[in-house]
Amino acid sequence: MKRVVAVFAAFAVVALLTVAAQAGSKGEQIFSQKCAMCHVIKGKGGAIGPELTKIASKMKENDLKVKLENPKKTNPNSSMPSFKTLPKAEMDALLGYLKTLK
Ligand code: HEC
């Protein structure tokens, strides 16, 4: 019986790690679909907006969220579109990815 529990626990850990790994890459995917045409990260992307390779050393998570929901708040002339309508799960995944860019 103990062995069955141990095997089950091992499976659960693997499943959790897989989910965590996908959460990271989901944010990256959203970035490449919605942001990369204007922003460079690690040498790839468009030049309309500033490079974001080290954005997390400059902006905190909450500042990033404010920027994404209302780009004109910090820059009235901003040509960046608002991402206010992004589903919460996607916003969280995206912020999780941006936070790693230091
Ligand atoms: C149509 C082009 C465009 C798209 C698409 C776009 N941005 Fe921007 N972004 C800009 C421009 C231009 C600026 C600079 C002006 C400003 O501060 O608003 C900017 C500024 C920013 C800043 C502030 C950078 C700094 O150094 O102050 C962040 C963070 C940012 N964008 C993140 C994103 C993310 C994340 C996405 C995708 C969800 C995205 N942007 C999509 C054009 C864009």
C-alpha angle 50/54/56, rounded to 5°?
105
- Going from the Cα of 94 to the center of ligand 1, the distance in angstroms, rounded, reads 13
When pLDDT is averaged across residues 21-44 and rounded to a whole number, the result is 88
User: With 60 as the cut, is the pLDDT of residue 16 above it?
Assistant: yes
Structure tokens at 100: 């790693």
Phi-psi region of 28 (alpha: psi -120 to 50; beta: other; left: phi over 0): alpha
Distance of CA 5 to the CA centre of its chain: 35
Residue nearest to atom 14 of ligand 1 (CA): 49
Whether residue 56 has its Cβ less than 6 Å from ligand 1: no
pLDDT of residue 11: 73
In tens, the pLDDT along 40-66 reads 999 999 999 999 999 999 999 999 999
Q: What is the pLDDT of residues 81-95, one digit of tens each?
A: 999 999 999 999 999
- The residue whose CA is least distant from atom 38 of ligand 1 is 35
